[in-house]
Every structure is written in structure tokens, then in C-alpha cells.
Amino acid sequence: MSSARAGDDPATGDRLPFAASPPDVRGRGFSSRAALPVMEGWIDATVGPLPPRAVALADLPATLAEGLVLAEPVKAPGDWPPADRAARDGVAVASSDTLGAGSYNPVPLPGAVTVAAGEPMPPGTDAVLPVEAMQADGPFVEALGSAAPGEGVERRGEGLRGGTVLLKAGHRLRPQDLGLLTALGIDTVRVGARPRVRIVLAGGPRSGPETLGAMLTALATRDGGVVELVGPLPADRAALAAAYAAPGADLLISAGRTGVGEDDVAPLALAEAGQLALHGVALRPGDSAALGTAGGVPAVLLPGEPMACLTAYELLAGRALRRLAGRDPGLPHPAVPAVVVRKLVSEIGCTELYRVRRTADGMVEPVASPHRPGLAGAVLADGFVLIPAESEGVPAGATVTLRCFDGTSL
Amino acid sequence: MSSARAGDDPATGDRLPFAASPPDVRGRGFSSRAALPVMEGWIDATVGPLPPRAVALADLPATLAEGLVLAEPVKAPGDWPPADRAARDGVAVASSDTLGAGSYNPVPLPGAVTVAAGEPMPPGTDAVLPVEAMQADGPFVEALGSAAPGEGVERRGEGLRGGTVLLKAGHRLRPQDLGLLTALGIDTVRVGARPRVRIVLAGGPRSGPETLGAMLTALATRDGGVVELVGPLPADRAALAAAYAAPGADLLISAGRTGVGEDDVAPLALAEAGQLALHGVALRPGDSAALGTAGGVPAVLLPGEPMACLTAYELLAGRALRRLAGRDPGLPHPAVPAVVVRKLVSEIGCTELYRVRRTADGMVEPVASPHRPGLAGAVLADGFVLIPAESEGVPAGATVTLRCFDGTSL
């Protein structure tokens, strides 16, 4: 089995979890909605990492900001530094020659050799005195201070022993990592795949299709995907099904037409294109999202209401994409503890997302309740707080986990 | 005056701060080093944002992850939504028609109209009942629950009033911002410049030039620059000066040859190419860094020792670049409070950087002291802690500010 293909059962290769399609909810409403952990569990059971790709280190510096995640651990091939060397500019000495030297007791050093930081230690020396601790007396060099053995010297293997695991699988590469890997002579690393993400705009009256297309493209790019944007398409089951099942994608994301109106044909189209595994999630906003497979790859249907679309992307579609890309499937938003100014109420049985902003005194306050549609609340917010389904909310003054929308925190 | 040119005095247009060049330290050592805030102050006084660039929103989604910062605030051009509309799929009703309705008291609604979320409210209606609260009785529709006025309706301007400042200057654009800006009909925004950064590898024995070139390219790209990599060049004053002064850059960064050895000619080359304003900073690692101008643009000389280079980049070169790019000049690393496992000692009068990693119980411990050269410590670290010059360190159990090397925290 390809670990990346959705819908394959590890044991039999053909069975699917939740094989019976959920009912058509149009005009009827949802009789039940899956708990968020059930949806997440379906994704985790169905979606695995695509084969990693080998990239040359020389190609990485300009693209590092896009996020590159190691697919396998990197070990130090040998000791670093490979030999004793000067840790600073100065004069290499035998430390025993400097015993008792001081500014009132200059000690001549006939065999002293000037070294620059990084140069190998000359034979017979074991310390580097800084330039400030030396003086010239005619042709002679004198020490104005003593050096202990090893002082000013970087010893072989001091930075790193050969075989040490430098970076674990899943590690997101940082600038200094490139520097050390290059210094160690490692010229290629294996990093997570860049999944091909087809985003189908299934239309809907809520907002211009560009709204969702721009936002979803930015989100999927952030999570490591290469985006193909399709649509907006009419509310036509066959047209949507054809777009869903077309080859060439590793993940299908569709936005819009997931609700209970007559035109909400996206779930039916998914059933036609592959499998509709779960439709409806106990998540607010985002409760009409659906999961399944299309053309042999995982598929996530997002609501067309923009805030519901954003929420369901982050928690469901993004999770699937991050798994395909070999990244941490959890939310990519920095998490910090924060104290809430006001009570946040939440319905038991439903995971709710509050958009919040920081106050002047370092606490957070809600900008918009989970019921409030539209992106304005998310734009005015610094981050969000998730209230789990088993909670009826948190009182004023409680500490919660703030998820920051951008990369900053504190 | 162009606010982006270094070396111009706002009042006279030609005077420079710190006009007298620092002394040649080769073979002698530093007689004094500038405090870090003095170096930062020089950068802040000398380097301002380059003119912003206008970008089409349609071009942004695929490049958002690189970091795009607004150069001016964005206001809502009008109310959003522009008219009352359905907040959910259901049936639009006059709320007064549903008074007293319940599952044991279905109330007929002869004028009910099905609406999808986002559709305008039909005349004479002021609420949307969910599909689950309706039933069909032959040709008639009956309400099984009552609706309060405005229930299920998103009112005009509820999300946003026209004229509201949506996003401030300096804001880093996020996916949802693109969604809302597009929905509001804003198709162009002004964002910070992409400064042209020339990185000159001035050589030095410490490590392969690729080490610093790869790391510095990744760092400068992260901070919004477009990098031109030059070298490695020989330790030749005239050759370096020519590379420093060549036209076509907005910022010069040079790495290596800043110390007290005979070959440390980078500061002399900078004086020849423009001005050497400050050489030596009370910062460990990174103490041989220098600031000045070359060919009319700001110039930062970084030490060649890789860890000193990284530190001086983050605190000095990166600050200059972030200012040119119109970004927050402060460190871009997420900052979170953390408790230190062990004492961190620090020399009074010197800002020191400890590389630290998280422990299993959520505290941080030092990986490498400020004296330890090499990138291995930074690669094994999760972040760093800065001990300010006025402090002699922090005791075990103290809370410090952890700066995370990557975008995650907690």
C-alpha cells in the first residue's frame, strides 16, 4: 500500500473506514455530527506522508522561509571540529611557558606563533593568549598573563561527536542548520514532499469566489502544498464530481456547497467521485465540513461561509495536507498561555473557536463569538482559542491556550 | 532626503553620526567596544524604510509565506456585509409570524422563503429559521420553533463599519486578511520593499565560505531581502572595498576578517568604501562586528566565526534589513517566558547570548555558553536567551524570555 493513498485499509488494501455514506442532508438538516476527534482520527488513519524528496543544500537558502521539514534524522558524519583549533585570534603558546606571567611580570615567549580564530593549533602549543595579553619588546614577544591548558582552544569533537543525532525527522530547517550541514560536508537532505493540492471553488452565494481562493491558496502554500485552483464551478453535481476525481492531485480541497440547501451538492459529488466518509462535524464555525476520497486521494469539503471555511481548513484540510507533507499534523500556530478577560461560553458537545485579540495588559478578549460569520473578526484578531467539546466554556480570569495567527507571540 | 539612505543627517543632509573612524585594532585588540544599544541606536538613526511597493492582491497568495508587511494602514471602504443577509441556510421568516411555535404547536408559514447562507434577506423577513426547525405539511411549511428578530441574520455593517482601520501599517499579512481584502474589493496593497542585499564573503580560516553564505542567504531572505552573494574574496583591502562600494545594493553585509589579526582587513576596506562608524560591540558572541556605510548604503560587517556571525546578523544586520523592508526591526523570533534549569552567568557590561533547549518538564537549559564557538550549539538548541549588559546573569529557577529559533512555541 502507498502510505499516501487514502482509503486503503492497511490489512486488506481495499476496505475503507466508515464505508456507508452519510445521508443526504439537503432540506433535512444533520441528524448528527461527528466529534472533531473522530474527523481527526479518520484523517490520521487514512492519510500518511508522500515519499520524501532529496534536495541539494545549495538550493535551500532562498526557499527555507517556505518551510522545509526533514524526512529523516541527520547525524554528524564525524567529530566537529575535526582537529584542535584556535577559538580566537591571538598567540598560540605552550600554557606551561606562561606560568606566573602578569602585567608586572612579562614573560618572554620565544616560540610564540600568531594564529587566527579557526586555524589549527601549531605543534607543541595548547592555549591561545589574546592579543591584549601580549606585548612586543623589540624582536621578542612577552606574555602579560598566564593561560590555562586548553584556554582559547576549540578541541576536536568539542562542538559535536561523530554519530550524534543533530536533527530529528520532522525538524523544520533553520538558517543555522544549513550552515552546520554545509560545514560538515552534507550536501543533500531528504525533506517532506510538496503535495499537489487541487482547490475546487464550488461556488455559493456567500462571498466572491476570490475570497476563498486567495485565502485557501495562501493557507495551503503555508502548509507545504503546491496549489491548483479550479473554478468557481456551478452547483452541478456531475461537474463537481469530474473536477474532484480528475488525476494529478495528492489532496482535494473543495470549498462551498456543503450545507443543507438544495444547491448543496458538494457531498453528493464527492460520493460520486469516490467516497463520502463523514459529513458534518461538531465544530463551530465549520460544522458542514466533510471528509472522504476522490480519485484515490484524500478529499476535504469545506463550508463556503468564509470563517467556517477558514476554521475547517485549519483543523481538517490543513491537517491532511501537513500529514502528506511529512509535517507535524497539529496546528502550525504558535501556542502560548493567556488569561481571558471575559467568560467564553461554549456548547457542550461542540468544539468552538473564539477569535481573540490581546489587550494592553497582556490578556486576551474575544473579538467574535463562534456564531459570528465573516472574516472581519479573524482579521481584527491576533489569534484564536479552541474550547473543546467536553467543556461548557471558561470563566473570566482562566488561563487558556492562545493560538497566534502569525508567527509572533508573548 | 531619502529616508532609506544611510549616512544622511536629517538636518543637513551630509553629516554622519560617529564621523571619526575607530582605530585599526589589528595586532592591538579593542580598547573599547560599543554597547549593543549604541549599535542599535546607530542603525535606527541611519536606516529607514525603502519606498514601499504596490502589489496586486491576486499575486499574493503564493508568496504570503515569505512575509509581506503592510506599508500603510488598510481601512474598510464600506460596511460589511453591505446589506442584511442570511447567516445560515434555512427559511427566511417574519419573526412575528413564528410567535409561540414549537414541536407540539406547529405554526403555518404561508410566506416562507428558502434562503442559503449569504443570500440577501427577502423583503418583509427579519429572521432565518434553520431547516431542522421546519416541517412540510403537504404543500404548507410549518415552523416548529420561534425566531427572535434578527436571529440567523447577519446585519449590514455587523462585521465591519466603513472607515474602520482593519489592518495597521507594519501588519504582516495572513491568509484571512487576503480573503477579507478581496471580499471588500481591495485589489492592491502597499507592502514593504524587498531590499537588495549584497552579502560579501570576506573569507577567513574559520570554516568554509559556503557555511556562512548558505546561512546568511537564508537569514536575509527570511527578513525580506533579495540576496546577491559575492565571494569568497581574498583578504585584500582594495578588492573588498571595491565589492563593498559597487552599486546595486540597498544593504551591504560582509562576513569575516573583522578581528584583530593581520588579515582582518574588512574594517579598513569599509573605511575605504565609505565610512567605518563603529567597530567592536559588547556582545558575546559577535564582539568584532562593525557598522558603517559603503557606496551610500548601510553596511554591517559580521565576524567570520559562524556563531558570532549568526548572533551579529540577528542583532545588527537583520535589524538594518528589517528596517529597510518596513518590518518590525526587533528580533523576529517568537518570544515566550521560560524558567531556566541552571544558573546563567554573564559578564557585566557585555550582552551575552545563551543557546538553550527545552527540557521534558517545560523549562529551558543552556546548550552552549556564549564563549563556545560553532553552530553545533545553535543546531541543538530550540532558541536563545539574551542576558543584557547590566545583568551578571540569572539564577536557576528565574523566568527569562526565550526567543524561539523556529516559529513554534509553548
Residues B291 and A121: beta-carbon distance below 8 Å = no
Q: What region does B405 belong to: left with phi over 0, alpha with psi -120 to 50, or beta?
A: alpha
Band of pLDDT at residue B290, cut at 50, 70 and 90: very high
Helix%, strand%, coil% for chain A, nearest 5: 20, 30, 50
Q: How many CB contacts within 8 angstroms connect chain A with chain B?
A: 296
Band of pLDDT at residue A206, cut at 50, 70 and 90: low
Closest CA to B204 of B229, B235, B231: B235
pLDDT tops 70 at residue A7: no
User: Which residues of B are less than 8 Å from A33 in CB distance?
Assistant: none
Residues in chain B: 410
Band of pLDDT at residue B10, cut at 50, 70 and 90: very low
pLDDT (0 to 100) of residue A205: 56
Pick B379's closest partner by Cβ from A66, A132, A177. A177
Q: Do B334 and A222 touch (CB under 8 A)?
A: no
Strands laid side by side in the A226-230 sheet: A226-230, A196-201, A251-255, A297-302, A290-294, A274-279
pLDDT (0 to 100) of residue A61: 82
Percent of chain B with pLDDT over 70: 92
Pick B218's closest partner by Cβ from A30, A64, A306. A64
Q: What is the DSSP letter of A160?
A: B
Pick A334's closest partner by Cβ from B30, B222, B408. B408
- Calculate the alpha carbon distances from B204 to A185, B268, B371 in Å: 18, 15, 19
User: Which residues of A are less than 8 Å from B227 in CB distance?
Assistant: 61-62
pLDDT in tens, A164-182: 898 999 899 999 999 989 8
pLDDT tops 50 at residue B4: no
User: Which residues of A are less than 8 Å from B175 in CB distance?
Assistant: 214-216, 218-219, 222, 310
Q: How much is the average pLDDT of B226-249?
A: 95
pLDDT tops 60 at residue A27: yes
pLDDT tops 90 at residue A340: yes
Residue of A nearest to B405 (CA): A174
Residue of B nearest to A63 (CA): B218
Q: Do B176 and A215 touch (CB under 8 A)?
A: yes
Alpha carbon of B321: minimum distance to chain A alpha carbons (Å): 16
d(CA B174, CA B180): 10
Residues in chain A: 410
Q: Do A379 and B177 touch (CB under 8 A)?
A: yes
Q: How much is the average pLDDT of B207-224?
A: 85
Using the structure block, give the residue that is written with the C-alpha cell 539612505: B5
- Kindly state the cell numbers that stand for A66: 517556505
Residues B65 and A221: beta-carbon distance below 8 Å = yes
Pick A179's closest partner by Cβ from B178, B222, B375. B375
User: Which residues of A are less than 8 Å from B210 in CB distance?
Assistant: 58, 182-183
Q: Which residue has the higher pLDDT, A25 or A8?
A: A25
Pick B218's closest partner by Cβ from A175, A204, A372. A175
Question: Which phi and psi angles does A127 have, rounded to 5°?
Answer: -155, 155
pLDDT (0 to 100) of residue A112: 75
User: Which residues of A are less than 8 Å from B384 in CB distance?
Assistant: none
Question: Which phi and psi angles does B313 have, rounded to 5°?
Answer: -60, -55
Q: Do B218 and A60 touch (CB under 8 A)?
A: yes
Alpha carbon of A77: minimum distance to chain B alpha carbons (Å): 13
d(CA B295, CA B270): 10
Q: Which residue has the higher pLDDT, B22 or A366?
A: A366
User: Which residues of A are less than 8 Å from B160 in CB distance?
Assistant: 374, 376
Alpha carbon of A8: minimum distance to chain B alpha carbons (Å): 32
Q: Do A207 and B118 touch (CB under 8 A)?
A: yes
pLDDT (0 to 100) of residue A184: 85
Q: What is the DSSP letter of A315?
A: I
Residues A302 and A294: beta-carbon distance below 8 Å = no
User: Which residues of A are less than 8 Å from B158 in CB distance?
Assistant: 372, 374
Q: Ranked by mean pLDDT, which of A93-107, A110-124, A365-379 comes out on top? A: A365-379
pLDDT (0 to 100) of residue A103: 82
Alpha carbon of B76: minimum distance to chain A alpha carbons (Å): 10
Q: How far is CA A21 from the centre of its chain?
A: 32
Using the structure block, give the residue that is written with the C-alpha cell 497566534: A404
Q: Do A401 and B378 touch (CB under 8 A)?
A: no
Residue of A nearest to B379 (CA): A177
Complex ipTM above 0.95? no
Q: Which residues contact A227 (CB under 8 A, 6 or more apart)?
A: A197, A198, A199, A216, A217, A220, A221, B61, B62
Q: Do B222 and A65 touch (CB under 8 A)?
A: yes
Residues A392 and A345: beta-carbon distance below 8 Å = yes
Q: Do A409 and B227 touch (CB under 8 A)?
A: no
Residue of B nearest to A377 (CA): B159
pLDDT tops 60 at residue A194: yes
Residues A72 and A190: beta-carbon distance below 8 Å = yes
User: Which residues of B are less than 8 Å from A30 in CB distance?
Assistant: 132
- Kindly state the cell numbers that stand for A313: 481548513
d(CA B298, CA B254): 11
Mutate to test the interface with A, among B66, B89, B385 (most CBs of A within 10 A): B89
- 3 state DSSP class of B272: helix
Mutate to test the interface with B, among A178, A253, A287, A328 (most CBs of B within 10 A): A178
Q: Do A183 and B208 touch (CB under 8 A)?
A: yes
d(CA A39, CA A30): 16
pLDDT (0 to 100) of residue A14: 43
Q: What is the mean pLDDT of chain B?
A: 88
User: Which residues of B are less than 8 Å from A166 in CB distance?
Assistant: 376, 379-380
pLDDT tops 90 at residue B136: no
pLDDT (0 to 100) of residue A410: 36
Q: Return the bridge partners of A351, or none.
A: A283
Q: Do A207 and B183 touch (CB under 8 A)?
A: yes
Alpha carbon of B215: minimum distance to chain A alpha carbons (Å): 5
Q: Do B159 and A65 touch (CB under 8 A)?
A: no
Residue of B nearest to A333 (CA): B408
Delineate the domains of chain A, giving CATH numbers in brackets.
36-50+194-324 (3.40.980.10), 53-80+169-191 (3.90.105), 85-154 (2.170.190.11), 335-404 (2.40.340.10)
Residue of A nearest to B151 (CA): A371
Positive or negative: CA dihedral A107, A108, A114, A115: negative
Q: Do A61 and B380 touch (CB under 8 A)?
A: no
Alpha carbon of B184: minimum distance to chain A alpha carbons (Å): 9
pLDDT (0 to 100) of residue A99: 86
Alpha carbon of B3: minimum distance to chain A alpha carbons (Å): 27
Band of pLDDT at residue A390, cut at 50, 70 and 90: very high
Band of pLDDT at residue A10, cut at 50, 70 and 90: very low
pLDDT in tens, A223-280: 999 999 998 899 899 999 999 999 999 999 999 999 988 889 999 999 999 999 999 9
Percent of chain A with pLDDT over 70: 92
Q: Which residue has the higher pLDDT, B150 or B250?
A: B250
pLDDT in tens, A129-156: 887 788 877 767 888 888 899 998 988 8
Question: Which phi and psi angles does B325 have, rounded to 5°?
Answer: -85, 5
Band of pLDDT at residue B209, cut at 50, 70 and 90: low
User: Which residues of B are less than 8 Å from A58 in CB distance?
Assistant: 210, 214
pLDDT in tens, B238-257: 999 999 999 999 999 999 99
Percent of chain B with pLDDT over 90: 56
Alpha carbon of A14: minimum distance to chain B alpha carbons (Å): 36
Q: Do A179 and B336 touch (CB under 8 A)?
A: no
Pick A222's closest partner by Cβ from B65, B154, B334. B65
- 3 state DSSP class of B362: coil
Q: Do A118 and B64 touch (CB under 8 A)?
A: no
Q: What region does B29 belong to: left with phi over 0, alpha with psi -120 to 50, or beta?
A: left
- 3 state DSSP class of A189: strand
Q: Return the bridge partners of B199, or none.
A: B229, B253
Q: Do A205 and B260 touch (CB under 8 A)?
A: no
